[in-house]
Amino acid sequence: MSNHPENEPVLGYAPRSSERVALQVELNRQMNEVVEIPCIINGERVFTGTTTTQVIPHKHGHIIANVHLAGKDEIAAACDAAINAQSDWIDMGLEARCAIFEKCADLLAGNWRMKVNAATMLNQSKTCFQAEIDSACELIDFWRFNCHYAREFHGLYQPLVSPKGVQNSTEIRPLEGFVLAITPFNFSSIAANLPSAPAIVGCTAVWKPSRNSYHSNYVLMELMMEAGLPPGVINFVPSSGPDISDVCLSNAEFAGVHFTGSTAVFQGLWQRIGQALPEMKSYPRIVGETGGKDFVVAHPNCDEQGLLVALLRGAFEYQGQKCSAASRAYVPTSVWNRISSPLCEEVKKIKMGDVCDFTNFMSAVIDQRAFDKITGYINRAKENPDCEIIVGGGSDDSVGWYIEPTIIVSSNPKSESMIEEIFGPVLTVYVYDDADFEATLQLCDESSPYALTGSIFATDEGDIDTAFNALRFTAGNFYINDKPTGAAVAQQPFGGARASGTNDKAGGPLNLLRWISPRSVKHTIDIPHDWEYAFMSED
Ligand code: NAD
């Protein structure tokens, strides 16, 4: 038996399977209730009375929750609760902390699975499969593997040498103060992981969830409390971004930020932290995974059917709202002449609609703002003489925020949809001359500020090597003959560099190391009793 956890198996939800029946029952139940969501501060449910509604993106007239928002006073109370809880949390020790998060994983793998998946499906418009790989499997893996990695490095980082009369050791301390976890809407797993990864190694956290995933995130907060998370260790505060920044970044005990979201918000946070430094007790750790403009480069000798499937799944699963979604492709003329029609035919077969209808492959985008932003890109492409929309291009926000899977062919490799993050179901293709493979790799490297994920399709090892070297800094997660999405914990630790983040690889030991601040301890057994050194004697 291996001494590490295994990845949680993905359930298939085939017709008449027991998991499908259970999920449908839970979806029906959640469709018929409106949850009152409080803040959770120091383990207490706080109903502030200042509320906002949470709607279902694919049926935006349907309210699933009323959410009580934290104002500045509640955020300040959450910071205090986290600070006050830290000493006991450290004293519990690593094993007891891991036992709680491993219990979280077991609950999620068991009785809580359908509740969490249904909440993610309704709140974020994910199909059952997209919810299963996110809110169940990835989060179970985050919890189990992070505990495993934390145990491993607590033993690893001990001093190599203790000379006679001395015992050297390293105490793996957490950061002093509280960690601010600011989380994105698109992955429930990331939302729960950002406060809990630092907590495993002894930090305490203030968790600001996204306004578009309060419902699913609250279910996960409840799960952690059920697993025995002590009061104050993670404080759940739905609130506005500016309020969170104002209160947390001016608190001297602010120890660091664990962020996933857009590049612009992260850069703003970093600047504010820089300005606040003179008031801080410590230098805060800044960990952020941000946007992407993820690519697929095809070589003339590639597997064309494999490329077609990777483009379709990579660009359109979860409506393209993955930071890793394929959103630009560089395809040689010969290949494009053969695959463009079949690709469009397959895209036209994609069924889009309510996630409760399991035959749908896609659903709605997250909110009106996203709908307006994405359709803006599509409409500008329609006007742009360099661009042609070869499939899709339609949208309808009357019932839900639906946007058709859309492919734009651009003759300009620097047109806006080739270089900017759109975060929706839009793929832009640049068709290059078959002879220009190497120049195209350079173009791919230079065209966008992001460097998150990307893939190369080629069959010849030499061509793969050429791309591997040319694209070294173009992606933090690099795929060969596969779509650029779907990284698995403990298999492909995730994160990108350049404008895509600090590349601290969520779900791996490197991320956990950012939340510790070791203390080196020298324990002298043979205590010197003579202050004079040998060199000082006269002969
Ligand atoms: P977003 O940046 O709009 O929001 C992220 C979080 O920041 C939310 O909780 C939001 O409320 C908060 N926020 C916004 N303004 C703030 C402010 N001024 N101060 C403090 N907090 C503030 O991103 P989103 O729409 O939730 O998620 C989509 C983005 O996240 C995309 O750019 C995507 O690429 C990125 N993402 C990256 C990864 C990754 O691992 N690299 C993973 C998932 C999502």
Q: What is the pLDDT of residues 42-69, one digit of tens each?
A: 999 999 999 999 999 999 999 999 999 9
Give me the CATH number covering residue 383: 3.40.309.10
Q: With bands split at pLDDT 50, 70 and 90, how would you rate the model's confidence at 25?
A: very high
- pLDDT for the residue numbered 289: 98
Q: Which atom of ligand 1 is nearest to the CA of 208?
A: 9
- 118 and 241 in a single domain? The answer is yes
The pLDDT of residue 157 is above 90: no
Do both 298 and 333 map to the same domain? yes
Which residue has 């926000």 as its token pair?
Answer: 397
Mutation to probe ligand 1, out of 186, 324, 504 (largest number of atoms < 8 A from CB): 186
pLDDT score at 2: 66
Q: pLDDT of 352-384, one tens digit each? A: 999 999 999 999 999 999 999 999 999 999 999
Other CB atoms within 10 Å distance of the CB of residue 529: 5
Q: Give the residue-averaged pLDDT of 159-172.
A: 95
Number of compact structural domains in the chain: 2
User: Whole-prediction pTM value?
Assistant: 0.97
Neighbouring residues of 175: CB distance < 8 A, sequence distance ≥ 6: 198, 203, 255, 256, 282, 285, 515, 516, 517
Residue of 323, 477, 505 best suited for mutating to test ligand 1, as the one with most atoms within 8 Å of CB: 323
CATH number of the domain within which 53 lies: 3.40.605.10
Please tell me whether residues 315 and 241 are part of one structural domain: no
Q: Which domain holds residue 199?
A: 18-290+501-521
- Whether residues 319 and 378 fall in one domain: yes
Q: Per-residue pLDDT averaged across 399-426, rounded?
A: 98
Residues 226 and 208 in one domain: yes
Burial level of 467, CB count in 10 A (0-12/13-18/19+)?
buried
For 153-157, 212-216, 251-255, 527-531, which range has the lowest pLDDT when averaged over its residues? 153-157
Q: Which residue's structure tokens are 């795929």?
A: 479
CA of 533 to the centre of ligand 1 (A): 60
**Same-domain pairing of 283 and 359:** no
Same domain, 277 and 319: no
Confidence of residue 153 (pLDDT cuts 50, 70, 90): confident
Given a cut of 50, whether residue 1 has pLDDT beyond it is no
* pLDDT tens digit sequence for 427-466: 999 999 999 999 999 999 999 999 999 999 999 999 999 9
User: Is the per-residue pLDDT at 330 higher than 50?
Assistant: yes
DSSP E strands in 282-422: the ranges are 285-289, 294-298, 326-332, 387-391, 395-396, 402-403, 406-410
Residue 489 covered by a domain: no
In a domain, 496, yes or no: no
Q: Please report whether residue 533 resides in a domain.
A: no
Q: Is 359 exposed, middle or buried (0-12, 13-18, 19+ CB in 10 A)?
A: exposed
Domain boundary among 447, 480, 513: 480
Residue written as token pair 């994983």:
105
Kindly state whether residues 185 and 37 are assigned to the same domain: yes
Q: Mean per-residue pLDDT for 486-492? A: 96
Would you list the DSSP string of 437-462? Answer: HHHHHHHHHHH-SEESEEEEE-SSHH
- Please give the mean pLDDT across all residues of the chain: 97
Residues 396, 373 within the same domain:
yes
d(CA 315, CA 110): 31
Residue 27 reports pLDDT greater than 50:
yes
- Residue 206 reports pLDDT greater than 90: yes
In a domain, 9, yes or no: no
pLDDT of residue 529: 96
- Average pLDDT value for residue range 31-45: 98
Pair 335, 466 in one domain? yes
The two structure tokens encoding residue 210:
């996204």
232 lines ligand 1 (CB under 6 A): no
Task: Show which residues are catalytic.
Answer: 289, 323
Q: How many CB atoms lie within 10 A of CB 334?
A: 14
Task: Mark whether 360 and 475 lie in a shared domain.
Answer: yes
Q: Is residue 492 part of a domain?
A: no
Q: Quick check: helix, strand or coil at residue 112?
A: coil
Evaluate whether residue 13 is within a structural domain. Answer: no
Q: Is 292 in the pocket of ligand 1 (CB under 6 A)?
A: yes
Which ligand 1 atom is the nearest neighbour of the CA of 185? 26
Do 334 and 472 belong to one domain?
A: yes
Cα–Cα distances in Å, from 215 out to 142, 181, 238, 305? 20, 17, 10, 39
Q: How confident is the model at residue 333 (pLDDT cuts 50, 70, 90)?
A: very high
Residue 464 domain flag: yes
Under 8 Å between Cβ of 302 and 458: yes
